[in-house]
Amino acid sequence: AQKVTQAQTEISVVEKEDVTLDCVYETRDTTYYLFWYKQPPSGELVFLIRRNSFDEQNEISGRYSWNFQKSTSSFNFTITASQVVDSAVYFCAIQGAQKLVFGQGTRLTINP
Amino acid sequence: SAVISQKPSRDICQRGTSLTIQCQVDSQVTMMFWYRQQPGQSLTLIATANQGSEATYESGFVIDKFPISRPNLTFSTLTVSNMSPEDSSIYLCSVTSGSSEQYFGPGTRLTVT
- Measured distance CA(B19)–CA(A105) in Å, rounded: 28
Contact between residue A92 and residue A103 where contact means Cβ atoms under 8 Å apart:
yes
Question: B48 touching A, CB under 8 A?
Answer: yes
Amino acid at A77: F
Q: What is the mean pLDDT of chain B?
A: 93
> What is the per-residue pLDDT for B96?
86
Say yes or no for a CB contact (<8 Å) between A43 and B90. Answer: yes
Of A27, A39, A47, which Cα lies nearest the Cα of A107? Answer: A39
Q: Comparing B53 with A36, which gets the higher pLDDT?
A: A36
Q: How many residues does chain B have?
A: 113
Distances B25 to A87, B63, B69 between C-alpha atoms, Å: 28, 23, 14
Contact between residue B6 and residue B108 where contact means Cβ atoms under 8 Å apart:
yes
> What is the per-residue pLDDT for B100?
66
Task: Give the residue extent of every domain in chain A.
Answer: 3-111
Quick one: average pLDDT of B93-101?
79
Contact between residue B90 and residue B27 where contact means Cβ atoms under 8 Å apart:
no
Quick one: average pLDDT of A33-47?
92
Q: Comparing A43 with B65, which gets the higher pLDDT?
A: B65
Q: Is the pLDDT of residue B105 over 80?
A: yes
Quick one: average pLDDT of B48-76?
92
pLDDT level of residue B24 (50, 70, 90 thresholds): very high
Cα angle A87, B93, A99 (rounded to 5 degrees) comes to 90
Q: Is the pLDDT of residue A43 over 90?
A: no
Q: Domain B42-95 - what CATH class?
A: mainly beta
- Quick: pLDDT tens for A55-104: 888 888 899 999 999 999 999 999 999 999 999 999 999 998 768 899 99
- Measured distance CA(B113)–CA(B17) in Å, rounded: 10
Q: Domain A3-111 - what CATH class?
A: mainly beta
Of B52, B53, B47, B20, which Cα lies nearest the Cα of B33? Answer: B47
Quick one: average pLDDT of B56-72?
95
Say yes or no for a CB contact (<8 Å) between A100 and B107. Answer: no
> What is the per-residue pLDDT for B99?
65
Q: Is the pLDDT of residue B4 over 80?
A: yes
Question: B106 touching A, CB under 8 A?
Answer: yes
Q: Residues of A57-81 as b/e, b for ≥16 C-beta within 10 angstroms?
A: eeeeeeebbbebeeeebbbbbbbee
How many Å lie between the alpha carbon of A13 and the closest alpha carbon of chain B? 21
* Phi, psi (rounded to 5 degrees) for B17: -90, 180
Query: In chain B, whose CA is at the least distance from the CA of A104?
Result: B42
